[in-house]
Amino acid sequence: MNSFITYLKERFNIFVWGALALFLLLFSKHQISLNKTDAYMYFFLLFFLLITRLYDDLLNADADKDKPNKSYTEEKHTKTLLFFLIGISAIFISLLFFYEANLANLALIFLIGNHLLYLILYKTWKFKHFLPLLKYPLIFIALHGQFSIVAISLFLAFMVYEIMDDKDFPISKPYACLLTIAAFALLLENLPIKHLVLFILLAVASFATVVINRKYFPYIFLLLYLFSRLISLIHEI
């Protein structure tokens, strides 16, 4: 238990990941409104993000051994955390099954499929940097209830975030600008004409955060991107 608590302190900042869960919940909605079922979904999203975070870290344990404040890379902690990963994954799937069986099935398929992709692609080229990003468009599709090109936009947006935030990400900054344009272009689907000016302003501001890229700008980029998505859900102001 101590290993898991230490891991949570080091790698799962509840404010950061809680904000990300809220981002995904709002981004995936069909309209701007909240109800009591969203509270349950928020809990499951946060739970799912914890599972995928722990999984990604354990897969990267060997590569992260020389980095500070990463106790999960120590063998004595790795074995314990693997036990916790299996346990909390089983609890998550069980709880989600009782809440909504279809989502539980999708989550289980994702966890198994994701593991297979890691086994096949992790050591090929630099796919290990992209694999953790796959969960975001799939979360959107699961919550939204159908595929949309917005899912592709979301994947591109998180690629931009990683370029801004992670110096080891295998795509250079100039490409981040192109990916930003593509991500916002894909958000234009179903955008009310009367909100186009506001959308353009948000897109330009987001592009500026990518070009300037100072501390906290990756978070500001995601916030502006979220606002750009939400205005497409506004039918009346």
pLDDT tens digits, 113-143: 999 999 999 888 889 999 999 999 999 999 9
Q: Which residue type, as a one-letter code, is found at position 61?
A: A
Tens digit of pLDDT for each residue in 165-201?
998 899 988 899 999 999 999 999 878 888 999 999 9
Banded model confidence at residue 235, pLDDT cuts 50, 70, 90? low
CB 184 within 8 A of CB 228: yes
Q: Is the pLDDT of residue 28 over 90?
A: yes
Please give the mean pLDDT across all residues of the chain. 93
- Alpha helices (runs of H) in the chain, residue ranges in sequence order: 2-11, 14-27, 36-59, 75-99, 101-121, 135-144, 149-165, 173-186, 196-212, 217-230
**Amino acid identity, residue 99?**
Y
Q: What is the mean pLDDT of residues 39-59?
A: 96
Q: How confident is the model at residue 23 (pLDDT cuts 50, 70, 90)?
A: very high
Asked if the model's pLDDT at residue 237 lies above 50, the reply is no
Q: Would you state the structure tokens that stand for residue 37, as one six-digit string?
A: 């079922």
Residue 86 pLDDT > 50: yes
Q: What is the reported pTM?
A: 0.94
Q: Taking the CB of residue 204, how many other CB atoms lie within 10 A of it?
A: 11
What local confidence, expressed as pLDDT, does residue 36 receive? 85
How remote is the C-alpha of 118 from its chain's centroid?
Answer: 17
Cα 183 to Cα 27, 221, 223: the distances in Å are 14, 12, 14
